[in-house]
Amino acid sequence: MAQAAIELIGINKSFGAVRANRDINLEIARGTIHGIVGENGAGKSTLMSILYGFYQADSGEIRVGGQQASIKTPNDAIALGIGMVHQHFMLVDNFTVLENVILGAESDALLKKSIAKARSELERLEREYGLEVDPDAIIEELPVGLQQRVEILKALYRGAEILILDEPTGVLTPAEADHLFRILKQLKDQGKTVVLITHKLREIMAITDTVSVMRQGTMVATRETRKTTVEELAELMVGRRVLLRVEKGEAEAGNVKLAVKNLTVKDTRGVTMVDDISFDIRAGEIVGIAGVAGNGQSELLEAISGIRRAVSGSVMLDGKPIDLTGAADPGELRDRGLAHVPEDRHHVGLVLAFEENENSILGYHDDPRYLKGPFLNIDAIRNDAKDKIAKYDIRPADCRLKTANFSGGNQQKIVLAREMEQDPGVLIVGQPTRGVDVGAIEFIHKRLIAMRDQGKAVLVVSVELDEIRSLSDRILVMFSGRIVGERGPEATEGELGLLMAGVDHQEAAL
């Protein structure tokens, strides 16, 4: 039995009336990859934040390498050899890679020695762990996958022997995720201990040695990964059997609800991101758009929803044009029956400082249901929010709680509930289950299928191929701003992967 790198004994943590961790006991063996899974709000991130010194436990004990440890700040954790890569990276965008790595670990006032030492050490770490990245690159100019490598390099530079990763693949493409896993295996082979917090059970099965399951703030089970199954883990997480595949009947497609013709869109730099594409969506069907992130999907959704101006082309909603000459008014489009669940819920979908009930009507606040004369009807808004909370199982069930205090998956449910409950004729959804746990994924998928079966037209953009294949009645593949192929849901992952890589669709069909 490997020596324990970390032992958590009787950990308790409450935030007001909410008990985030209840008598948690956890042992993580040295030199292993240990997964921690659980539903959104199960207490996983809170537990790791206690280990890293962001929070203080109300009671309990932490041992590192068999010795009792007092971890009151992240500096205490770093001194004990613990590093953490957060879901939302802690990097200074306009600094270089090298400057970010040494930030807070400088050894001299003029930085000359610090920079020379860091450059040499980075070269060693890159060689040893396959973490190649240009040390002089500016962070904001790097793709997300490379930014994550910088976070890992920061931790290793500070001497981390234990590395915590919180939802590390939530913002990565499949290829970037595969590369990350190779890095983590190399870290393990070098004797490092890796703690992986994730919602993605298939990733747990692919890379971890051991997995612990949390539910409603408690630790309910720990399993050797090779002795468990995705089905067992899902049931332990949710407390009931979970349907891991989408059940749906044949689509009964009706009239065209949304028609896109020869659409071209540029980004803020003037680069063409959507290049002369055409497609339509009919009532009673789900059209999925697959593609590696950054191939124009985001700009496409923004143009259709009125957030971004198009260069040329046309979009018709129920046979009537959407004005593309200037940024169309998203409010007007909502009034015409088009609802939009944006990819970036934090910056576009929600105001995190608002209460849940305020976000639950955002964009629909001039609806007569929420008004009392010229003023907002606060009681009506809160009662409506409580209904949505119950219907969509949003946790905690508190409509007065600041939206920033909900987990990512529950924030996603707030946005979905707001848009779906308006009964739109057309629903466009970007990354519907990003950062969402297995129980919530099942729920969201069922809601999307129900909307289709009610005769709605649904457009889904997702980097998750399993999700696209399960939900879609038709699949469009985008590469470099163009639609390079259309397939049915029976298309294989390999076939779609070739199209996503830019291989000619005729070759991919062979």
Question: Domain boundary at 195, 210, 238, which?
Answer: 238
- What backbone phi and psi angles, to 5 degrees, belong to 355? -70, 160
- Whether 416 is covered by a domain: the verdict is no
> How high is the pLDDT of residue 508?
42
Location of structure tokens 């746990």: 437
Angstrom distance (rounded) from CA 360 to CA 358:
5
DSSP 347: I
Same domain as 296, residue 231:
no
Location of structure tokens 């070739």: 498
Angstrom distance (rounded) from CA 338 to CA 330:
9
Total domains present in the chain? 2
- Whether 123 is covered by a domain: the verdict is yes
Helices (H) then strands (E): counts for the chain: 17, 22
Q: What's the full length of the chain, in residues?
A: 510
Same domain as 270, residue 207:
no
Q: Which domain holds residue 491?
A: 256-337+424-509
- Whether 172 is covered by a domain: the verdict is yes
Same domain as 265, residue 234:
no
Q: Which of 46, 428, 399, 42 is nearest to 215 (CA)?
A: 42
pLDDT tens digits, one per residue of 163-220 = 999 888 866 766 777 888 998 999 999 999 999 998 778 889 999 999 999 998 999 9
In DSSP terms, 263 is beta-bridged to 277
Please give the distance of CA 500 from its chain centroid, rounded to a whole number.
20
- pTM, whole model, 2 decimals? 0.71
Angstrom distance (rounded) from CA 126 to CA 422:
50
- Whether 92 is covered by a domain: the verdict is yes
CATH number of the domain where residue 441 is located: 3.40.50.300
> How high is the pLDDT of residue 505?
47
Angstrom distance (rounded) from CA 227 to CA 442:
24
> How high is the pLDDT of residue 131?
82
Same domain as 266, residue 228:
no
Same domain as 264, residue 225:
no
Tokens of 187: 């870290």
Residue 239 gets the label, from left (phi > 0), alpha (psi -120 to 50) or beta, of left
Q: Which of 305, 69, 33 is nearest to 189 (CA)?
A: 33
Same domain as 283, residue 231:
no
Q: Which of 470, 451, 444, 462 is nearest to 257 (CA)?
A: 451
DSSP 102: H
Q: Which of 329, 294, 323, 347 is nearest to 479 (CA)?
A: 294
Same domain as 280, residue 216:
no
Same domain as 135, residue 12:
yes
**What's the CA dihedral at 225, 30, 203, 463 to 10 degrees?**
170
H/E run at residue 150: helix 144-157
- Whether 461 is covered by a domain: the verdict is yes
Same domain as 298, residue 216:
no
Same domain as 295, residue 161:
no
Angstrom distance (rounded) from CA 91 to CA 170:
17
Angstrom distance (rounded) from CA 192 to CA 310:
49
- Which residue positions in the chain have pLDDT lower than 70? 1-2, 105-114, 170-171, 173-174, 242-244, 327-328, 504-510
- Whether 358 is covered by a domain: the verdict is no
Same domain as 204, residue 305:
no
